[in-house]
Chain A
Amino acid sequence: MSENKIIKTDAPAPPGFSGEGFFATKLDSLIGMARSYSLWPLPFATSCCGIEFMAMMMPTYDLARFGAERMSFSPRQADCLLVCGTISKKLGPVLKEIYTQMAEPKWVIAVGACASSGGIFDTYSVLQGIDKIIPVDVYVPGCPPRPEQILEGFMQVQALSQSESLRRRDTPEYQNLLESYGID
């Protein structure tokens, strides 16, 4: 991740050329914008961060404002994997399988201390952060984080999807990253 870029929900149109009755911009920017406001999250909630995640979806915090109304419970139709909670070592291969089943483009948010680093569970049975097995785009700190924090993490993913190349999967950096995790 490059710089800490926060986007607004009333963000202006991407940079382009406008005149009377028309607006021209790059296809990249247009599709990036469209993607960022129609991300389908895949919740992978294993513990208390999952409760905060549920609060984030509910009307008070309302993730639907960001175009993520529909939770996808199939990895095939999901863009953004939200790992909310402790992942034990036994569960690690399951999580990795779900990540590999997701279609590109895909982003991963590690919600909370456990998903980010193992949290308080510094023990033989707990995976010390999901970035040991899958690449992570955004880390949300907190034990558990407030729903606002998870929203901010989600907005970071929106910023990523707006700024990244559409063909991210073809870049050598991305290929190398996946290869380092043994995912092809």
Chain B
Amino acid sequence: MTNEFVLEAIQREFSDSVISHSEPYGFLTLEIKKEDIKKIIHYLKDSSLEINFLTDICGIHFPENKEKEVGVIYHLHNMMTNFRIRLKTFMPIENTEVDTITDLFAGANWMERETYDFFGINFKGHPDLRIILNDPDLGYHPMLKEYRLEDGTRTDKDDKMFGR
């Protein structure tokens, strides 16, 4: 199974959904419209392409990309032919909501919870969208770039030594 073959199959089925495609380091990467991401993952899983292993879901934040600040990235894998594909979808930070794929992959449950935890992305239809890794009282989504990485309560780093 080649990148061209899978790309052609997706573009034939969902001609309007694919915004762009690229192959960094030979890894087929598609940017998909937010509304269609679940439809395409479902197709990849249940069609004869059999890309039916969900490797990972993660979030990303690019504050400089207006209206496309926050993204969700899906990594899928066909174990039989060792074919991998990466799907990206972006959305404005004011309304970060995307369909859950927990009904397609049970393993997506914790992955989506983690993405919610760190980026505040709401997965519509998720059965139990709670914070999973961070302190539940943390009160914000720390991987969004509007928050500083350092801990503000640290007292042993001052301006003289560390440029604070």
Contact = CB atoms under 8 A, between A and B. Distances in A.
B142 A125 contact: yes
Interface in B107-164: 134-136, 138, 142, 147, 149-151, 153-157
A96 to B, nearest CB: 13
Interface stretch (A9-17, A67-75, A115-123, A173-181): A115-123
A128 B155 contact: yes
A92 B136 CA distance: 12
A126 B151 contact: yes
A117 B157 CA distance: 10
A132 B155 CA distance: 11
A89 B135 contact: yes
B150 A117 contact: no
Contacts, number: 34
Interface residues of A, number: 13
Interface string A77-102: 00000000000111010000000000
A122 B134 contact: no
A118 B151 contact: yes
A126 B155 CA distance: 14
A23 interface: no
Given A89-B135, A90-B135, A124 B153 contact: no
A122 B163 CA distance: 14
A124 B147 contact: yes
B156 to A, nearest CB: 5
Contact of A90 (B134, B142, B149, B154): B134
Given A89-B135, A89-B138, A90-B135, A123 B149 contact: yes
Contacts of A126: 151
A126 B157 CA distance: 15
A180 to B, nearest CB: 16
B134 A123 contact: no
A124 B142 contact: yes
B163 to A, nearest CB: 13
The listed residue with most A CB atoms (<10 A of its CB), out of B136, B138, B151, is B151
Nearest to B131: A90
Contacts of B156: 117
Nearest to A93: B135
Given A117-B156, A128-B155, A123 B150 contact: yes
A128 B134 contact: no
A123 B157 CA distance: 13
B157 A125 contact: no
Given A122-B157, A124-B150, 18 more contacts: A88-B135, A89-B135, A89-B138, A90-B134, A90-B135, A117-B154, A122-B150, A122-B151, A123-B149, A123-B150, A123-B151, A124-B147, A125-B134, A125-B135, A125-B142, A126-B151, A128-B153, A128-B154
Closest 5 CB pairs of A and B: A90-B135, A124-B142, A128-B154, A89-B135, A122-B150
Interface of A: 88-90, 92, 117-118, 122-126, 128, 132
